[in-house]
Amino acid sequence: MPMDHRLALDELSWTDVAAHIARDARLLLPIGALEQHGPHLPLGANALIAGRITYDLSLEFGVLRAPVIAYGVNVASERAYAGTATVRAKTLHRLINELLATWESQGFEEFILITAHRHEPHLDALTTLATESARVRVVSVWDVDVSALLEAQPGPLHAGEAETSLLLHLFPDRVRMDRARDFDLPADQFERYLHGRLPAPPPGGAGVVGRPTAATAEKGKRIYDHLVRTIRRCVFRSALPDDSDAL
């Protein structure tokens, strides 16, 4: 779809930004990760999802949006997956803190961070940010319960049914379903992976935990609509008539 750049921070002049802050002092900041998502999804899947949700909310509520931060905190030993890159939690924490301090000094009063990367050290870096007085809100996209919309797995897992469906809906040209392979992992091991307690991604899965072969674009649309409805209601305190199923 054609992109609307009227609310994109990096596409505006500083005078335009200053005028907007006087009307609305909120800023959306999408944060991704460059991480393996199997042979069938792009390394930037998290950034693509966070960026698209940020874009749609920006247009709907007239809120400025900052450029996507494409890097996050991954398992450090993921160098075996070509192209993956990680920063340490304290590095991400410092980077975002310094950005928020700069923007706060210019008049921003509320920051809404949106991330689709579930790694616990990554989320820790974001949920411990500090400002002088501005409000900081962190939206972890996959904390929204999508289990009722899935057929083959209990939750979003990693590069499985949920994420693959979402990418099929949002960015179908970035998905290679001919390469999709299912990989199951015991729940306790998956939790250890999310919390950074495994020394490397689970072996045997090629970067996948879940059932990507069960993904469809139609399922992805239902998941996306549910994610956006839930974030809209919880963060922006706004609901539409069909939002009765939002959390």
pLDDT band per the 50, 70, 90 thresholds, residue 243:
very low
CA distance 144 to 246: 9
Length of the chain in residues, anyone?
A: 247
Q: How many CB atoms lie within 10 A of CB 171?
A: 17
What's the alpha-carbon Rg for the chain, to the nearest Å?
18
Establish if 198 belongs to a structural domain. yes
Q: How many domains does the chain have?
A: 1
Question: Which amino acid is it at 194?
Answer: L
Establish if 3 belongs to a structural domain. no
First-residue to last-residue Cα distance in the chain:
28
And the tokens for 196? 């950074």
CA distance 133 to 85: 33
Helix (H, G, I), strand (E, B) or coil at 183: strand
CATH number of the domain encompassing residue 73? 3.40.50.10310
Domain containing residue 240: 9-245
CA distance 133 to 68: 24
Q: Tell me what pLDDT residue 246 has.
A: 33
And the tokens for 193? 């992976």
And the tokens for 186? 């015991």
Interval 212-239: pLDDT, tens: 999 999 999 999 999 999 999 999 986 5
Establish if 109 belongs to a structural domain. yes
pTM given for the model = 0.90
pLDDT band per the 50, 70, 90 thresholds, residue 203:
low
And the tokens for 204? 């045997």
pLDDT > 60? residue 111 = yes
Phi and psi for 6 in degrees, rounded to 5?
-65, -20
pLDDT > 80? residue 191 = no
Establish if 1 belongs to a structural domain. no
Establish if 2 belongs to a structural domain. no
Interval 1-45: pLDDT, tens: 667 889 999 999 999 999 999 999 999 999 999 999 999 999 999
Establish if 39 belongs to a structural domain. yes
pLDDT band per the 50, 70, 90 thresholds, residue 156:
confident
Establish if 116 belongs to a structural domain. yes
Establish if 4 belongs to a structural domain. no
